[in-house]
Chains A and B, each alone.
Chain A
């Protein structure tokens, strides 16, 4: 167990290093000069050159890379080109909003997706199953920016049930629509996945055996089916949560939420390389950590993994 965990953590470091290196290369391959963007369109060549010097952009790329690695090892993510503040505190300061959208989004995914998927699987081919299929199709094909604007228009603009965006007090009131947007898109996946997983389980020989034992319907579902779908659900929740933590970019932009995604969005526009790098590394860490947690949870929920 501990050996396994140690190995996993070792790989985690390798993955994050790989992501960091790739992002670094991409950031430098992008045409455009951050110094010129900072200096503004009318700046002289001398000003641009001095900004270059200040930011260390006049060094050869491999020197910059090694310096970045060295600082990163010390926990220093650098200073934002744009806002002149340390990157890591800036990210951590905005992380709670993103985390709340992630948690709320996952909750909506589960609340909407699980009942729809379970009911569809219990009555395959029924009217309800078809309604669930249509819901899933809409949920999967509706882009989140469109869905977000749609909800904003009808639930915040036409009927003023929710605020039109931003954050305020009470915070939860401002988070409902963004979370619902995340949740509706995700619930479509969950309902599909649950439907197929449950259909597999319902046709498994051990379900036939359970029916032959005279296990009544509700107990059949609670004892023989639901524990067996927990694993795929946990897997999806873990992946989603890690992914969302890296910034639900579109949602944050549409709803004007001051989260990691919105900050990254602004950083990309002015090639604020330290901020872009910091956000990507933070996102990669969130995903990798969630994956490790999911793997650990298998040990808790799947008896077959526990031994051996």
Chain B
């Protein structure tokens, strides 16, 4: 179906965290692919499983959290079974990660220079001097003024926006094929948010880097991504191109998320929020996990878990009310007209 081989294929991945109060099913049967140069967004409330999925892909899960099933293929290689040494050669080299809080994701005891240069030393075998020279170039590329001086500064001497740009410089240093950005703008003020997002777009477009952008903010996705996955209770509940999902959401949860975005036009009033709370992830699913909060739920929703089904070209939804494509019609034939 995909003309080009995808960079990343996540196939039926489940992640569990055994705790004293039972096993948390943090991600359930997560399944998606990421094309070369594609910018994919993952959106959902906190606890929906988006971050844990990203950490699972990066092999960064801290015990006791672990992947219980599924495969994660990066250019055909299964990350879940990779030798730890190969994981270290792969991380930071072929994939980069940007974390939520730039204030805490840089080591407070190390100078900026060494934190950027070390990826080049480790993965490209550069000497300290070469790596430092290149680190300076990288800082320039992420529009940090006075790059040479910044090399010898410590993180606390930089503003939040600058620190996040340093983190981006680190993630992009080895020209990775894929970047996972976990809420890269959440901790920043609004102007810095826009700057960081623009920078990330420019850099990844220039390098044709694939991006997975994780956020709880659909407007960031609308601004940055081409395709979007909506996650709820550890499952993907909707997938499609950003335009389609925003203009015509097929899952009531996506609709609810869209309703809760503040708008500049229109009536001023209380911002709608989604009633109820996300479900207890330690329980086995009885029906649709969104059913208790869903305005259009009916009997079937409470007894039968809706499967994530293809409902159109490149569109999937896990809702009994979303119409799947009847299997007897070939889509290609229709479109060929």
Chain A positions near chain B (C-beta within 8 angstroms): 203-206, 208-217, 219, 223-224, 227-228, 302-304, 307
B157 to chain A: closest residue by CB = A307
Q: How large is the interface on B (under 10, 10 to 19, 20 to 34, 35 or more residues)?
A: 20 to 34
Q: Report yes or no: A303 in contact with B88, Cβ–Cβ below 8 A.
A: no
Q: When chains A and B are docked, how far (Å) is the Cα of A213 from the Cα of B88?
A: 8
Q: Report yes or no: A304 in contact with B154, Cβ–Cβ below 8 A.
A: yes
A-B contact count (CB 8 A): 80
Q: Report yes or no: B90 in contact with A212, Cβ–Cβ below 8 A.
A: no
A224 to chain B: closest residue by CB = B107
Q: Report yes or no: B60 in contact with A213, Cβ–Cβ below 8 A.
A: no
10 more contacts with CB within 8 A, not counting A208-B60, A213-B118, A307-B154, are A205-B101, A206-B106, A209-B106, A212-B97, A214-B93, A223-B118, A227-B110, A228-B108, A303-B108, A303-B156
Scoring B89, B107, B114 by chain A CB atoms within 10 A of each residue's CB, the highest score goes to B107
Asked if B42 is at the interface (CB within 8 A of a chain A CB), the reply is no
B62 cross-chain contacts in A, Cβ below 8 A: 203
Q: If the complex has contacts A208-B99, A223-B110, A303-B154, are A213 and B91 also in contact, measured as CB distance less than 8 A?
A: yes
Asked if B65 is at the interface (CB within 8 A of a chain A CB), the reply is no
Q: Report yes or no: A224 in contact with B110, Cβ–Cβ below 8 A.
A: yes
Q: When chains A and B are docked, how far (Å) is the Cα of A304 from the Cα of B109?
A: 8
What's the least CB distance linking A234 to chain B, in Å?
13
Q: If the complex has contacts A214-B122, A223-B118, are A206 and B88 also in contact, measured as CB distance less than 8 A?
A: no
Segment 56-112 of B: residues with Cβ below 8 Å from A: 58, 60, 62, 85, 87-93, 96-97, 99-101, 104-111
Q: When chains A and B are docked, how far (Å) is the Cα of A213 from the Cα of B91?
A: 6
Q: When chains A and B are docked, how far (Å) is the Cα of A273 from the Cα of B21?
A: 62
A217 cross-chain contacts in B, Cβ below 8 A: 88
B173 to chain A: closest residue by CB = A213
A219 cross-chain contacts in B, Cβ below 8 A: 118, 122
Asked if B196 is at the interface (CB within 8 A of a chain A CB), the reply is no
Scoring B88, B111, B123, B154 by chain A CB atoms within 10 A of each residue's CB, the highest score goes to B88
Q: When chains A and B are docked, how far (Å) is the Cα of A216 from the Cα of B60?
A: 13
Q: When chains A and B are docked, how far (Å) is the Cα of A203 from the Cα of B61?
A: 11
Q: If the complex has contacts A205-B99, A209-B97, are A215 and B118 also in contact, measured as CB distance less than 8 A?
A: yes
Asked if B119 is at the interface (CB within 8 A of a chain A CB), the reply is yes
Segment 200-250 of B: residues with Cβ below 8 Å from A: none
What's the least CB distance linking B76 to chain A, in Å?
20
A304 cross-chain contacts in B, Cβ below 8 A: 108, 154, 156
Choose from B89, B92, B105, B119 the contact partner of A206 (Cβ within 8 Å): B105
B132 cross-chain contacts in A, Cβ below 8 A: none
Q: Report yes or no: A208 in contact with B91, Cβ–Cβ below 8 A.
A: no
Q: Report yes or no: A213 in contact with B108, Cβ–Cβ below 8 A.
A: no
Q: Report yes or no: A213 in contact with B105, Cβ–Cβ below 8 A.
A: no
Q: When chains A and B are docked, how far (Å) is the Cα of A185 from the Cα of B119?
A: 42
A to B CB contacts below 8 Å, 13 in the list: A205-B100, A206-B106, A206-B107, A211-B60, A212-B60, A213-B92, A213-B170, A214-B87, A214-B90, A214-B92, A216-B122, A302-B109, A307-B154
Q: Report yes or no: A212 in contact with B96, Cβ–Cβ below 8 A.
A: yes
B60 cross-chain contacts in A, Cβ below 8 A: 208, 211-212
